[in-house]
Amino acid sequence: METCKRCNRQLKTVKSIDVGYGPTCKKKQDEADAEFLRIQITMEEELEYQKKVKR
């Protein structure tokens, strides 16, 4: 059996094995991924910020 990428428990369903996470860990991982993407900035945003703070 495959194991969960987050908690290393054995996965029991075909869907979980395909995804790589159990249902609870999948929800937690999706939330963590969304938070990570929310706080990221692009290079363009950083360059624009540098232009604004440059005197």
| Separation between Cα atoms, residue 40 and residue 32, nearest integer Å | 13
Token pair in block for residue 42:
């692009």
> What residues have CB less than 8 Å from 19, skipping those under 6 apart?
26
pLDDT-derived band of residue 6, with 50, 70 and 90 as boundaries?
A: very high
The answer on pLDDT for 1 being more than 80 is no
pLDDT-derived band of residue 54, with 50, 70 and 90 as boundaries?
A: confident
Q: Which of 3-7, 25-29, 50-54 has the lowest mean pLDDT?
A: 50-54
Contact between 9 and 1 (Cβ < 8 Å):
no
Mean pLDDT, residues 8-19: 96
| Separation between Cα atoms, residue 48 and residue 36, nearest integer Å | 21
